[in-house]
Amino acid sequence: MKPRIISLTILLTFLKLTVSYGQDQIAWFHYFNKMNLSYKFSIDTDLGYRSDFEGMERWQIRSGLKYDIIENVSVRAGVMHVQGTQSASELRFYQDLMHKEDFSSFTFSLRVRFEEQYFPQLDQTNYRVRYNPMIKFSTSAGLISLGCEPFINLDSFQVTNNRWYFGITRYAFKNTLITLQYIKENSYSNTEIDRFNSPHMIRIKIDHSINPIRIRR
């Protein structure tokens, strides 16, 4: 219990110190499910909901097929639907390249995602790349994760968004992880210097793994 209290205190303190510099404070509830089809293939699905509790709401559902090329390199492809009170309905087709490397004291992971965003109401398509390096290391409070994620628009070759991540993860059950994460997102209008939005988000993230292969045994 004590490490969990420490984990929560760290994140809430960090949010309190930084929230005065942001325009929005958003809660993000996110559920991830991985269903293993074999030792190489899995279906990865996630459901997300965001709210600032002042009228802004955003829902998302995403699902894709993942293939492990080798032990620490994977690819994934799928589709996502986004709907919100302050954003246009969106279909998002994506492809991921993922790599993970374990070192003596930490784990480094990298996800490169190509996205094709289609907005049916606007009949508009946008292409972008998301580059997400992450470092994770174990502490007495839990697994600490630090990372960033710039969003690169391929039409203008500009960074339109950038996220900073700080999270603490602990096991809830053998196949379920819970992460309490602080996310600072910067959105840019024209350049990486000209910011027009800077929300702060607290995300509660649940990672749930289902392994029918083991169940059948």
Mean pLDDT over each residue of the chain, to the nearest integer: 87
At 213 the pLDDT is 65
CB 49 within 8 A of CB 58: yes
Could you give the number of structural domains in the chain? Answer: 1
CATH number at residue 73: 2.40.160.40
Residues 185 and 200: their CA atoms lie apart, in Å, by 7
Q: What is the pTM of this model?
A: 0.86
**What is the domain extent for residue 74?**
2-216
Query: pLDDT tens digits for 19-39?
Result: 444 457 899 999 999 999 999
Comparing 80-84, 101-105, 119-123, 213-217, which segment has the lowest mean pLDDT?
A: 213-217
Residues 115 and 74: their CA atoms lie apart, in Å, by 17
At 188 the pLDDT is 76
Query: pLDDT tens digits for 162-198?
Result: 999 999 999 999 999 999 999 999 887 654 444 457 7
Residue 196 CA, distance from chain mean position: 22
